[in-house]
Structure formats: structure tokens, C-alpha cells
Amino acid sequence: WILGGAGSGKSTICHSLSETLEIPIYDMDAHIYGDYHGRFTEETHPVNRAWATAENGLAWLLNMTWEEFHNFNQAALPEYVQLLVEDLAQINTAILIDGGIVNPSLIAEVISPSQIVCLARPGRSSAEIWSENEERSSMKEYVFQLPNPEKAWHNFLEFDRSITETLLRESQESNIAICTRDESESVAHFSERVARELGIWHQAKSTKTS
């Protein structure tokens, strides 16, 4: 499981390792904001059902305080994991899980910390990260369509900053490896470091040899 805040390189590294190791990626964000919504039920996933049925899910979240948002994420995570387990039961191969969670300490209770890596990209503000390319910049345009857009955008950036801090703090507390990428480091070299932390670099070498 490869974790990290926005702009830390999760998807880039997952795709690099997927190509090298020839194993599929399970994109948690894509599932959480995609097909999971059709699978949330009031009985089994009440926290996420409340979010999914809100008139505007993003506005619903951004109207929270950080404490409320943090509590929501902690309560929502077991519901995500239940759906993930359902999907994994249909997969008979190793996979790379790309992000999707805020609380690695909870994941470390059900998955060995040795199978989790948290990526870090220090020295960059949330405002910089969410304006670094066209795809991320579009999020600000979306947020500014909400009521009280200035407040909503402020909360979005504050939540983003706090999410990254939570990921790093809980990873450290749970003995999850944290890999920090230097801006001059190539994707290939950083991917190798991540693979070594996960103990799967030997698979990469075997794949290249074969």
C-alpha cells in the first residue's frame, strides 16, 4: 500500500512499479469517489452513505471543522476496507494499492506495516501543490462553485495540509517506512527505493531478468 499526501508521487510511483513488476494497481481514490458510492448501504456503511447522499458531497465535507473531518475519515476507513476486502477476494495476484486513506495507523492494525510505504515531498505548501498542473488547478475551480467559495477553499487547503501531517505522523508512530523524494531524484531511482522498503525489489530484478 503506497500512501502519501497530495503531490507526493503516489500514482507516479505506483505506475512505475506496476510497469516494472507487471502487477495491477488498485486506485483507492478512484474507488472511493467512484464505484464504492453505488455500494454504500445504510446498514453497513452509514458514515459513507451520509456523505454519498448529501446534496453536494464536497460542500458537506468542507463545511466540517478539521476535528469533524478527521473523525469522519477514521469512521469511514473501516467501511472502505470492507469493500476493498470484497474486491480482493476476486483477485488472485499481488496488487499495488494507491493511496485513498488518511489514517495509516488504522491500516497498520490489519496489514503489516512492512507492506506499507508513505511518500513525502517536503517544502511545498498545499497552495503550491494544488496549482502545479492543470488537473489539480481544476479543483480550485470546482471548489469556487460552492457557496462561500473563499472559506471553502481555505478549508480545503487546511484539510490538505493536515491530511499530510496526519499521514506522516501516524506512519512514524506505526513504524511505516517514510520515503522522501529529492526533487532531482529520478522516478526510476525513487521507485527502486520504495520497492526495497516494501521488500519487493527482488521481484523487480526477477521480472527484468525474465
The string of pLDDT tens digits covering residues 51-89 is: 999 999 999 999 999 999 999 999 999 999 999 999 999
CA-based torsion, 12, 34, 107, 127: positive or negative:
positive
User: Residue 30 and residue 51: Cα distance in Å, rounded?
Assistant: 16
- Cα 167 to chain centroid distance, Å, stands at 9
Q: How many helices (H) and strands (E) does the chain have?
A: 11, 5
Task: Look at residue 207 and tell me whether its pLDDT is greater than 60.
Answer: no
Which tens digit of pLDDT belongs to each residue from 110-135?
A: 999 999 999 998 888 899 999 988 88
- What's the whole-number average pLDDT of the chain? 92
pLDDT at 182: 85
Q: What is the mean pLDDT of residues 145-172?
A: 96
Q: What is the mean pLDDT of residues 162-171?
A: 97
User: Residue 108 and residue 115: Cα distance in Å, rounded?
Assistant: 9
User: Residue 77 and residue 131: Cα distance in Å, rounded?
Assistant: 28
